Chain A
Amino acid sequence: MLAVLETRTIFGGETEAARVIFYLLALATLLLFFWGIYRRIRVYRVGRRPAGWRWLRRATKYDIPDVTARPGVSKSAAVIAANRSITKVKKPVGLAHLLVFWGFIGLFLATSILSLDYDILGNASRIVTGHTYSFFRGPFYLGYNAVFDLAGLLAIIGSVMLALRRWFSREPQLDYTRAEIPEGGYSRSKIVLGDQVFMVGLLLILVTGLLIQGLRIDGEGFPSFERWTWLGWLIGKMFASFGVGAASARSAHAWLWWVHVGSALAFIAYLPFSKALHILSAPTNLVVSDPANIRRLPAPPEGAAGYATFADFTPKELLAFDSCTKCGRCHYVCPARTAGAPLSPRDFILDLRQWSDRNNQIPLFLDSEDRPTPSGPLAGNGPLAGTVIKERTLWSCTTCMACVEICPVGVEHVPTIVQLRRSLVDRGEMDPTLQSALQNISTQGNSFGKSARMRARWTKGLDIPIPDARKEPVEYLWFLGDFASFDERLVEISRTLAKVLNSAGVSFGILYEDERNAGNDVRRVGEEGLFEMLVESNMRAFEKADFTRIVTTDPHSLNTLRNEYPAFGLDKEVLHYSELLAGLVYRGKVELKPLGRRVTYHDPCYLGRYNRVFDAPRAVIGASGCELLEMPRNRTNSFCCGAGGGRIWMDDSFLEERPSVNRIREAASLGVEYFVVACPKDYAMFSDAVKTAGLEESMKVVDIVELFSEALIGADLVEA
């Protein structure tokens, strides 16, 4: 008998007219929702598709080396399900989001099941058999209520946590102040309001949903099976204890029901035009985002130098703009922004989104920036690179990848930044110092403006011969890179490495004057033609030589040799010298005497984040008997020295505090005497930073090979 009772009428106390109104409203809502979504998808459809549909998800993951390997669909799904991209930093925030995420999925399911039963099964059965069937009864009904009440509770807890953070937290990532301040000023109050509407809207839907449940049960006089609807039951009891009787509960239910339904419908209709869009776009973006993209930069659009018009953007990039939740994580970690440069990766994405929305006449009520005088993304005309995004903003990026690493929704800022830089380079708009570096690279193959024939001059001061890989077969071809070959301070370290390799019995050789700049930073500057020219020169040099694998001193060269050169025909394994040194230790080829120093280690962006080599340098440090104290920002969260992406060739005098100085202060707070690096550019940058910070007395920059060498042959450290 119970089975008959264990249900509730859908549309409990509402009149026939109310029902009709509800369905009309629902219809209007759905129309608005799908129209909004359609408008956006239409935008993606205009995007430039590099080749067929393969851009969407690469077919196999086996056509690429490790670091660019893309997670399978199931793995992406697992990341999304566990909100792992959000929880990887700021655990409590991630947890709160996870509650909201699953809570709302639960509530969405609940509504869908109800609609399936009542609107579809109910109507279909009535039309076909004349009887209205329903499975919304009996044990199913009880279970349904018990489970989805839990979903509602989780969603409420999560939403309240997030709302409290939004209202009371002073975290810098929640601050919407722009990094690049437009001349006529700007206002982001509509963005702030948009956040509040989103959040308060969610809370309103949740709270009214639970309240009407309680009122309904109260109004029905607490039928005992409704205990399964535990949360509603409790709330109903609460009402009852305040003296709300069955009759007044029923009348309160009638109007509160409208508040609930009205706000839910409004939310759905508003979704495509607001921050809430990320509910759909973010998971999609996570599925199509590709770790190869940043490590192996995509080519410029067919027949163009770089991005100049809207049609140059790929659907993936356009989707990425719509996925950004303005969480500010990238804004917070960006070394350019930290240093006071007019670049924030968040603002970069938001500006492009606003520009795209404006271009496509997508109405935005909130979630957009206003400017008293139209400029930037609001400007009427002017080039994309230069007006929509300012030149200096584009040039400020060190391509450190911190933004891409931390973004919870899989936005890939750097490839887009480079595409825009490419059109600046095409127009010849750049720092004079960068221009002369590029000119030097194109005439002599190095950024130092030295003769190509001087590249191996550093070998002069050595009493051991450095084999010429073009003349004799070697196991390791040592690719030095410009800094290790030409910089006065660094050639000494190159000599040290040569001695170490020699005494460890490693078979190695160099290319002498045939080595050219590998082109990693040239490509990231946006000078694609020069990059290709350098690849051709280096590939010709590789062909002349006989070797098994490449080892390089320079993480930047490592990145391009390992990830980009294969597309041009390189089929050799590429190692970083820290990996080679660690290998010597592991295979017992060397014996090291412990040095017993307290050191810290700086992960170079292109070694760590880009190529995931974290352990080899640490193993070398450990093997040389040093105690490693980690800086707060280490491994994937390492802080850029400021030299990457061609920044080393540009003026940085406008920065408030150079990233390298910021980093050195971080290390100084640990009280270590040695700052260990594994990248020639780092050695140069941090040696300067130590002086700027006035820490010459207390801290010394050393290269891992110097530690290794000292522990191996007891040689002294090179004077910085």
Chain B
Amino acid sequence: MKIVVAMRQLADLVEELEVNADGTDIDRDFVKFVSNEWDEAALEEALCHKDDGDAEITVVALDEPDVDQTLYTALAKGADRAVKLTGHDPEGWIRTGDRAAILASWLERDDFDLVLTGVQAADDLDGQLAGVLAERLGVRHAAVVVGFHDADSAVQVEQELGGGTVAVSSLELPAVLGIQAARQTPRYASITRIRQAQQTQTIQEVEISAGGSLGGTVRKISPPKKRGGAEMLEGSASEVAERIAELIRSKGLARS
């Protein structure tokens, strides 16, 4: 099975993010970029399938800050091929719609059975990438996937519904899956292995000219307003306990 894993770079959330001078984006100059954790789960799930059988894994990502690190790490973990798509502004904010368009125009030329990507990302909290991409490619799509099994020309997907219910359905291949979690925590690639990958493997660069942006323009973004904050309870243990009990009662969380 040919699996493509689409990965994205995001500002590391441990950084203190600031809004840029014109108030239309975060200030990208000094922040460190890391790969999206759900994409990491998608890669891990793909690698587990490779460990079990004969999957062939291609990781693909748009040119973004520190993306080479992410791609080499994927190669070090066992991906077979890494592709970096260029032809856009690597420093700017790539909107999900544009991202889907760029990925789609590359995927149209490439051969694949499954495309996996993270179900969401910090800049795509409503998880549109997988759906939009599937639509553009004209293939099937499932979101919030927590596992899948290969079944000839179809794939059995497990999706998480609310309250821990898992739905199992069958999708015809090819398809795009938005991965919620892998069966295990993403594996560790030692720096030595990553460095080895850097020396022995190459990232294939493909230029994509997808035309102008599809999304609207961002007029303004602003940092979240500080609200309330935490109230520190002071006093002796019994006083604090008293206050907590009172609060719980006043919120109607317990019958008194």
A and B physically associate: yes
**A residues bordering B, Cβ < 8 Å?**
305, 425-426, 428, 430, 432, 435, 438-439, 442-444, 449-454, 527-530, 532-533
Residue numbers in A under 8 Å from B190 (CB-CB)? 305, 425-426, 428, 527, 529-530
Residue numbers in A under 8 Å from B192 (CB-CB)? 305, 426, 528-529
A529 touches B194 (CB 8 A): yes
Q: Majority SS of interface residues in chain B?
A: loop
Q: Which residue of A lies closest to B33 (CB)?
A: A443
Q: Which residue of B lies closest to A305 (CB)?
A: B192
Residue numbers in B under 8 Å from A533 (CB-CB)? 191
B32 touches A451 (CB 8 A): yes
A66 to chain B, nearest CB (A): 31
27 pairs, CB–CB < 8 Å, chain A vs chain B: A305-B190, A305-B192, A305-B193, A425-B190, A426-B190, A426-B193, A428-B187, A430-B188, A435-B188, A438-B188, A439-B188, A442-B191, A443-B32, A443-B34, A444-B14, A444-B32, A450-B14, A451-B14, A451-B32, A452-B32, A454-B16, A527-B190, A527-B191, A529-B190, A529-B194, A530-B191, A532-B191
Contact with A along B164-189 (1 / 0, CB 8 A): 00000000000000000000010111
| Interchain residue pairs A-B with the least CB separation, the first 6 | A529-B191, A529-B192, A428-B188, A530-B191, A428-B187, A451-B15
Contact of B12 among A428, A438, A444 (CB under 8 A): A444
Contact with A along B67-80 (1 / 0, CB 8 A): 00000000000000
How far apart are the CA atoms of A364 and B13 in the complex, in Å?
A: 59
B15 touches A432 (CB 8 A): no
How far apart are the CA atoms of A311 and B44 in the complex, in Å?
A: 33
Interface centre among A444, A529, A530 (most CB of B within 10 A): A529
B30 touches A453 (CB 8 A): yes
**Is B195 among interface residues, defined by CB-CB distance under 8 A?**
yes
How far apart are the CA atoms of A700 and B182 in the complex, in Å?
A: 46
B33 to chain A, nearest CB (A): 9
A425 touches B32 (CB 8 A): no
**B residues bordering A, Cβ < 8 Å?**
12, 14-16, 30, 32, 34, 185, 187-195
B82 to chain A, nearest CB (A): 19
How far apart are the CA atoms of A444 and B30 in the complex, in Å?
A: 13
In the complex where A425-B190, A444-B32 touch, is A529 in contact with B12 (Cβ < 8 A)?
Answer: no
Residue numbers in B under 8 Å from A527 (CB-CB)? 190-191
Residue numbers in B under 8 Å from A443 (CB-CB)? 12, 32, 34
How far apart are the CA atoms of A428 and B186 in the complex, in Å?
A: 10
How far apart are the CA atoms of A532 and B195 in the complex, in Å?
A: 11
Sample of 6 more A-B contacts, CB < 8 Å, known A444-B14, A452-B32: A305-B190, A426-B192, A426-B193, A428-B189, A453-B15, A527-B191
B14 touches A449 (CB 8 A): yes
Q: Which residue of B lies closest to A452 (CB)?
A: B32
Q: Which residue of B lies closest to A438 (CB)?
A: B188
How far apart are the CA atoms of A444 and B195 in the complex, in Å?
A: 18
How far apart are the CA atoms of A305 and B188 in the complex, in Å?
A: 14
B202 to chain A, nearest CB (A): 20
Residue numbers in A under 8 Å from B189 (CB-CB)? 428
How far apart are the CA atoms of A450 and B34 in the complex, in Å?
A: 13
Residue numbers in B under 8 Å from A453 (CB-CB)? 15-16, 30
A432 touches B191 (CB 8 A): no
How far apart are the CA atoms of A529 and B187 in the complex, in Å?
A: 16
How far apart are the CA atoms of A450 and B187 in the complex, in Å?
A: 21
How far apart are the CA atoms of A430 and B188 in the complex, in Å?
A: 9
Q: Which residue of B lies closest to A429 (CB)?
A: B188
How far apart are the CA atoms of A529 and B185 in the complex, in Å?
A: 22
Residue numbers in B under 8 Å from A530 (CB-CB)? 190-191
How far apart are the CA atoms of A550 and B32 in the complex, in Å?
A: 28
Residue numbers in B under 8 Å from A435 (CB-CB)? 185, 188
How far apart are the CA atoms of A452 and B194 in the complex, in Å?
A: 21
B74 to chain A, nearest CB (A): 13
How far apart are the CA atoms of A527 and B193 in the complex, in Å?
A: 11
How far apart are the CA atoms of A425 and B193 in the complex, in Å?
A: 10
How far apart are the CA atoms of A442 and B188 in the complex, in Å?
A: 12
How far apart are the CA atoms of A699 and B14 in the complex, in Å?
A: 36
Residue numbers in A under 8 Å from B195 (CB-CB)? 529
How far apart are the CA atoms of A450 and B14 in the complex, in Å?
A: 6
Interface centre among B190, B194, B195 (most CB of A within 10 A): B190
Residue numbers in B under 8 Å from A425 (CB-CB)? 188, 190
B193 touches A529 (CB 8 A): yes
How far apart are the CA atoms of A381 and B190 in the complex, in Å?
A: 25
How far apart are the CA atoms of A439 and B35 in the complex, in Å?
A: 12
A445 to chain B, nearest CB (A): 10
A394 to chain B, nearest CB (A): 16
Residue numbers in A under 8 Å from B16 (CB-CB)? 451, 453-454
A529 to chain B, nearest CB (A): 3
A646 to chain B, nearest CB (A): 13
How far apart are the CA atoms of A435 and B191 in the complex, in Å?
A: 12
How far apart are the CA atoms of A430 and B186 in the complex, in Å?
A: 12
How far apart are the CA atoms of A426 and B191 in the complex, in Å?
A: 9
A457 to chain B, nearest CB (A): 10
A271 to chain B, nearest CB (A): 43
How far apart are the CA atoms of A533 and B194 in the complex, in Å?
A: 12
Q: Which residue of A lies closest to B16 (CB)?
A: A451
How far apart are the CA atoms of A613 and B162 in the complex, in Å?
A: 59
Interface centre among A428, A430, A449 (most CB of B within 10 A): A428
Q: Which residue of B lies closest to A530 (CB)?
A: B191
B109 to chain A, nearest CB (A): 33
Residue numbers in A under 8 Å from B12 (CB-CB)? 443-444, 451
Residue numbers in B under 8 Å from A451 (CB-CB)? 12, 14-16, 32
How far apart are the CA atoms of A428 and B194 in the complex, in Å?
A: 12
Q: Which residue of A lies closest to B187 (CB)?
A: A428
How far apart are the CA atoms of A425 and B191 in the complex, in Å?
A: 10
A537 to chain B, nearest CB (A): 12
Residue numbers in B under 8 Å from A454 (CB-CB)? 16
B49 to chain A, nearest CB (A): 17
Q: Which residue of A lies closest to B17 (CB)?
A: A451
B201 to chain A, nearest CB (A): 16
How far apart are the CA atoms of A438 and B191 in the complex, in Å?
A: 10
How far apart are the CA atoms of A404 and B149 in the complex, in Å?
A: 51
Q: Which residue of B lies closest to A526 (CB)?
A: B190
How far apart are the CA atoms of A449 and B34 in the complex, in Å?
A: 12
How far apart are the CA atoms of A581 and B157 in the complex, in Å?
A: 64
How far apart are the CA atoms of A452 and B189 in the complex, in Å?
A: 21
Residue numbers in B under 8 Å from A449 (CB-CB)? 14
A30 to chain B, nearest CB (A): 49
A34 to chain B, nearest CB (A): 43
How far apart are the CA atoms of A454 and B195 in the complex, in Å?
A: 27
B42 to chain A, nearest CB (A): 17
Residue numbers in A under 8 Å from B193 (CB-CB)? 305, 426, 529
How far apart are the CA atoms of A649 and B253 in the complex, in Å?
A: 37
How far apart are the CA atoms of A533 and B185 in the complex, in Å?
A: 25
B163 to chain A, nearest CB (A): 26
How far apart are the CA atoms of A529 and B30 in the complex, in Å?
A: 26
Residue numbers in A under 8 Å from B191 (CB-CB)? 442, 527-530, 532-533
Residue numbers in B under 8 Å from A305 (CB-CB)? 190, 192-193
B209 to chain A, nearest CB (A): 32
How far apart are the CA atoms of A439 and B16 in the complex, in Å?
A: 19
How far apart are the CA atoms of A452 and B31 in the complex, in Å?
A: 10
How far apart are the CA atoms of A378 and B187 in the complex, in Å?
A: 30
How far apart are the CA atoms of A449 and B191 in the complex, in Å?
A: 17
How far apart are the CA atoms of A438 and B16 in the complex, in Å?
A: 21
How far apart are the CA atoms of A442 and B32 in the complex, in Å?
A: 12
How far apart are the CA atoms of A443 and B30 in the complex, in Å?
A: 14
How far apart are the CA atoms of A283 and B61 in the complex, in Å?
A: 60
How far apart are the CA atoms of A425 and B189 in the complex, in Å?
A: 8
A466 to chain B, nearest CB (A): 20
How far apart are the CA atoms of A432 and B187 in the complex, in Å?
A: 9
Q: Which residue of B lies closest to A531 (CB)?
A: B191
B32 touches A432 (CB 8 A): no
Q: Which residue of B lies closest to A453 (CB)?
A: B30
A304 to chain B, nearest CB (A): 10
Residue numbers in A under 8 Å from B194 (CB-CB)? 529
Q: Which residue of B lies closest to A300 (CB)?
A: B192
How far apart are the CA atoms of A216 and B234 in the complex, in Å?
A: 92
